[in-house]
Copies of this chain bind each other. A is one copy, B any other.
Amino acid sequence: MSLAYVYGVGTSYFGRQPDQTDYSLAWRAVREAFADALVQGVDAAYVGTVFGASGVAQRALHAMGLGGIPMVTVENACASGTTALHEANVAVRSGRYERVLALGLEHMTARMRGGIHPELTDVEGATGLGMPSMYAMAAHRYLSKGMATAAQLASVSVKNHHHAMANDRAQYRGEFTIEEVLASTMIADPLTLLQCCPISDGAAAAIVGVDRRVAGDVPIRASALRSGGLWDHRSEQVWGFELVSATAGEAYAAAGIGPEDLDVLEVHDAFTIGEVVTTEALALVAVGAGGAAAAAGQTAIGGRHPVNPSGGLLSRGHPLGATGLAQTAEIVWQLRGRAKGRQVDGARVGLVETMGGGVAGIDGNGCVVAILGG
C-alpha cells in the first residue's frame, strides 16, 4: 500500500461563537482546506461530530456544492475528528478513493446546555463521574504516589497558554504563573479552572489524497484506532494510559519509527494531567516522569519534545468533533515550517493523539494516533 497525503488543512476560529452555526464554522474550515490543497472536489467525506444533529454533515457539505458523494458521519467522542482522519487515510491507502475530505465540527454553545452531562446508562457516568472528576482521580493518584506534583501539573497549563500566545485562532491565550494556575477556581480537586479545557465552537478539515508529489503535501505515515474500556482498577496505570500506549505502539510499528523520532506533537490535554499521562503513554518520557519533564521545559517549544505548540485543548479550545483535525492542521503547518511565532524549528515528523471518553460515558472511549511527515 502506498501512503496517503494531507494536501491541505483549514480551521475556523475556536471559542464560544454563538453567532456562528455548524454550517458557518464548517464553511470556514472546508474552504480554507480546499484553497490550501489547490484542488476542487473530493470523492467522499468522513465527518466527525459528537453532538451535531443527524444530517449536519450533508447539510454543511451540500451547501458548499459537495452533494452526491458518499458521506459518513462518524462519532468516537473526543476522537471523532481523528476517527474521520483515520477512515480517510485508510480509504485512500487502500485505493478506495483518490481524494477524501475529513471534517470535524462542533457547535457546543448551540447543541449543549452548560456542558457535557454524565450519561446515566454508563456505569461510571451513573455514579456522577463526569470528565473533570475522572481526570481528577488520575491526578490524585499521581500526586499521592509521588509521580507528579501539583506545580508540575500546573506547568502544563502555563506552557500551553504561553504557546497559544502566537495562535490567533486560539480560544484563550495568556501568560500565567504556576501560582496563578493553582489559585484559579477549583473545578475538581486538584484540577483548577486553568487546568481544564473550555467549552468551544469550531471546525477543522483536511483533504487527504494519493501521492501527487507536490511540495507541501504531508504524508500520513500511519494511523491507528482502538477502543478502550472502564478504568481497570487492578492496573497500576490510570485510566487511558493502556489505551493510548497500545494505540501509539501500533502506530509507531506501522510507521517504523519510535518516540525519539518525533519533532512535534499535538496530544489530548483536556486536563493538565491528561497531557502528563499521554506523554508517558507515548513513551516520550518514563512513567512518572511526565510532570517533571513539563516543568523542566522539555515539552515546550524549544524543548526536546515540543507538545501542543497550538496551545492544545487547554488553550486553543476543545470543540469535541473538531479537535482531532485542529490538531492535524497544526502538525501540518508545523511540518511545512509555517507555524509562525510558534514554529518548532526543523520539525520533520509529527504525531497527533486524541483520546475520547464516551462523553461522560467513560466506558465508551476510543483513541486515535496518527504520525505525519518524515
Contacts and interface: CB of A to CB of B under 8 A. Distances in A.
Interface in A45-96: 50-51, 53-59, 61-62, 67-77, 83, 87, 90, 94-96
B364 A21 contact: no
B72 A361 contact: no
Given A68-B229, A70-B225, A227-B70, A361 B75 contact: no
- Residue of A62, A121, A225, A229 contacting most chain B CB atoms (<10 Å): A121
Contact of A22 (B56, B121, B359): B121
Contact of A76 (B72, B87, B90, B358): B72
A51, A55, A73: residue with the most chain B Cβ atoms closer than 10 Å = A55
A23 B226 CA distance: 20
A365 interface: yes
B225 A72 contact: yes
A56 B74 CA distance: 13
A313 to B, nearest CB: 17
Contacts of A50: 54
Interface in A164-200: none
Task: Report the copy number of this chain in the oligomer.
Answer: 2
A8 interface: no
Given A54-B358, A95-B94, A226-B70, A59 B366 contact: no
Contacts of A255: none
A339 interface: no
Contacts of A67: 227-229
A269 to B, nearest CB: 20
A178 B227 CA distance: 51
A96 B90 contact: yes
A98 interface: no
B228 A68 contact: yes
19 contacts: A21-B121, A50-B54, A54-B358, A55-B119, A55-B358, A55-B359, A56-B358, A58-B227, A58-B365, A59-B121, A59-B358, A59-B364, A61-B227, A72-B74, A72-B83, A72-B87, A72-B225, A73-B74, A94-B95
Interface of A: 21-23, 50-51, 53-59, 61-62, 67-77, 83, 87, 90, 94-96, 119, 121-122, 225-230, 246, 357-359, 361, 363-366
